[in-house]
Amino acid sequence: MEETIVLYPSPGMGHLVSMVELAKLFTRQGFKVIILIVPPSYHTSTAPFITTVSASNPSITFHHLPKIDLPPDSVPSPHHEALQFELIRLHIPNLTRALHSISSNPSTSVRAFIADFFCSTSIDVAAHLNIPFYFFFTSGAAVLATLLYLTTLHESTTLSFRELGKTPLDIPGLPPLPAIDMPLPTLDRDDPAYEGFLYFSHQLPKAKGVILNSFESLEPRALKSISDGLHVPNAPPVPVHCIGPLIMSEKRGGGGGDDCLKWLDVQPEKSVVFLCFGSLGLFSAGQLREIALGLERSGHRFLWVVRSPPLTAEQSKLVSATPEPDLDALLPPGFVERTKERGLVVKSWAPQAAVLSHGSVGGFVTHCGWNSVLEAICGGVPMVAWPLYAEQRMNRVFLVEEMKLAIPIDGFDRGIVGAMEVERRVRQLMSDDGGLRERVLRAKHEAMAALSKGGSSNSVLINAWKNN
């Protein structure tokens, strides 16, 4: 019998990357892993990534569910998350067939079904087939605590978080959180995306556990509040299993990847500030110009990933790539030429995890996506927090106020951030006053300790599956 784990990531690249890392962790323990893929309906293809992973990991198999076309306007929401929830709901019959066929194979013993939090409608499918169900949560413990508490927050008011504005929310285990900093798709309670998150909040306590890409010493207060069961009244605490930090080991090319690593090789140690804003972060042309001027005036070396601005408002809903940027048209006249001795602009994509672990990188201006945060910690790189979408405003609060691993950028929530603020924060980041670098290095060592044999992220749960 092959001991098998079935993974169900949400569609698109975003969460697939960390699911694949989770799969590798299981294969190292001798499990076979089947990853169920929802074919992209409205976002960038995952095919090249899947081909690379399959070629180098024979114990990981990808099973593609049939394609369902879901036009972006079929869900009345400006948020792509609403489309994700709907697509996963439409796939329930396909998932049921696939999981039934896998689990009825006599040579396979399915030890667990692990779904992304967008896939919470799949919990009943697993229950029906008697397969233990776990969530894989791709953000941190603080966000998990917040979503566990969402049902309570929902019942405590009739107002949307957007209407509550800066009113602080009192969530057990977290610093006071302005309501407006809740995840972007949850700000309006009439939005289908909000309903999807609320449904997840209801489903969470039904799972056998949550596998979390974090580690204990990074978020002790939030983790303790979850294990004390402070977020869901009259229910036992949801078991949380930290397995992080799991960061991308697959080296993806494209966007001048190798060139920028070669460029970093010849820069002085910790001298370069890296600017990169996730897989979806886009800025207006005006904002790009302010960043360019701020970088130039700061006098520091920089590596900057630049994308084309969004073409239309609708594009925020389409998780697809914009065209290659025309740097001459987008950046201030002469910028690339004037800064060529100390700066490199990369179009659209850089191999971020490799960049952040390079010795020449001394600072990171980030959109605060959770994978980016973990990659920065693993590289020992201090951050400037510039949130853009999803749950990044929450991550900013925790990074700046609780973990103290980042400095904030002012004005990210008031239109364009000016060149002066960019210059000021880059200088502050690279001057390393206030012990920021020291704290990040401490977090890096704690992360390594958590992953080492006997460490707090060292797979107690997985061992239990093996021995049962």
Q: Give yes or no for residue 353 binding ligand UDP (CB under 6 A).
A: yes
User: Does 136 participate in binding ligand UDP (rule CB under 6 A)?
Assistant: no
Of residues 228 and 326, the one with the C-beta less far from ligand UDP: 326
CB-wise, 62 or 349, nearer to ligand UDP? 349
Which sign, positive or negative, has the C-alpha torsion 21, 22, 27, 29?
positive
Residue 8 near residue 129 (C-beta atoms within 8 A):
no
Are 285 and 267 within 8 A, CB to CB?
no
Residues 98-117 that bind ligand UDP (CB under 6 A): none
Q: Which residue is nearest to ligand UDP (CB)?
A: 369
> What is the Cα 214 distance to its own chain's centre?
11
Considering only the stretches 66-74, 364-372, 412-420, 455-463, report the one whose residues sit in contact with ligand UDP under the rule CB under 6 A. 364-372
Q: Which of 457, 8, 397, 464 is nearest to 212 (CA)?
A: 457
Applying CB under 6 A, which part among 31-39, 108-116, 271-279, 418-426 lies near ligand UDP? 271-279
What pairing do the DSSP bridges indicate for beta strands 301-306 and 272-276? parallel
Question: Least distance (Å) from ligand UDP to the CB of residue 389?
Answer: 7
Beta-bridge partners for 134 = 114, 209
Q: Does 352 bind ligand UDP (CB under 6 A)?
A: yes
Q: Using the minimum distance from each CB to ligand UDP, give the nearer residue, 50 or 92.
A: 50
Binding to ligand UDP by residue 131, rule CB under 6 A?
no
At its nearest, how many Å lie between ligand UDP and the CB of residue 375?
A: 5
Rounded Cα–Cα distance for residues 454 and 41 (Å): 42
> Is 349 a residue that touches ligand UDP (CB under 6 A)?
yes
CB of 30 to ligand UDP, least distance (A): 27
- Kindly write down the DSSP assignment for every residue of 306-349, as one continuous string: E-PPPSSGGGGTS--PPPPP-HHHHSPTTHHHHTTTTEEEEES-
Specify burial of residue 336 (Cβ count, 10 A radius: 0-12, 13-18, 19+).
Answer: middle
Alpha-carbon distance 24 to 4, whole Å? 13
- Min dist. Cβ of residue 453 to ligand UDP (A): 26
Q: Which is nearer to ligand UDP, 98 or 365 (CB)?
A: 365
Residue of the chain from 279, 298, 395, 457 that contacts ligand UDP (CB under 6 A): 279
Our CB check for ligand UDP shows the closer of 56 and 467 to be 56
Residue that has been written with the tokens 């000016």 in this structure: 418
The distance of closest approach from Cβ of residue 299 to ligand UDP in the complex, given in angstroms and rounded to an integer, is 25
CB contact at 8 A, 33 and 7 = yes
With respect to ligand UDP, which residue has the nearer C-beta, 90 or 248? 248
Give Cα 284 distance to the centre of its chain. 22
**Contact with ligand UDP (CB under 6 A) among 173, 256, 278, 294:** 278
Q: Counting contacts by CB under 6 A, is residue 245 touching ligand UDP? A: no
Which residues ranging from 311 to 330 are in contact with ligand UDP (CB under 6 A)?
Answer: none
- From the CB of residue 108, how many other CB atoms can be counted at a distance below 10 Å? 17
| Residue 318 CB contacts under 8 Å (≥ 6 apart), including other chains | 42, 43, 72, 80
Residues 1-40 that bind ligand UDP (CB under 6 A): 14, 17
184 is an interface residue for ligand UDP by CB under 6 A: no
Place of tokens 């609320």: 198
Residues 6+ apart with CB under 8 A from 152: 231, 232, 233
| C-beta of 112 vs 305, nearer to ligand UDP | 305
Site for ligand UDP contains 68 (CB under 6 A):
no
Complex with ligand UDP: residue 99 or 181, whichever CB lies closer:
181
Q: Confirm or reject binding of residue 148 to ligand UDP (CB under 6 A).
A: no
Binding site for ligand UDP (CB under 6 A): 14, 17, 248, 276, 278-280, 305, 349-353, 369-372, 375, 390
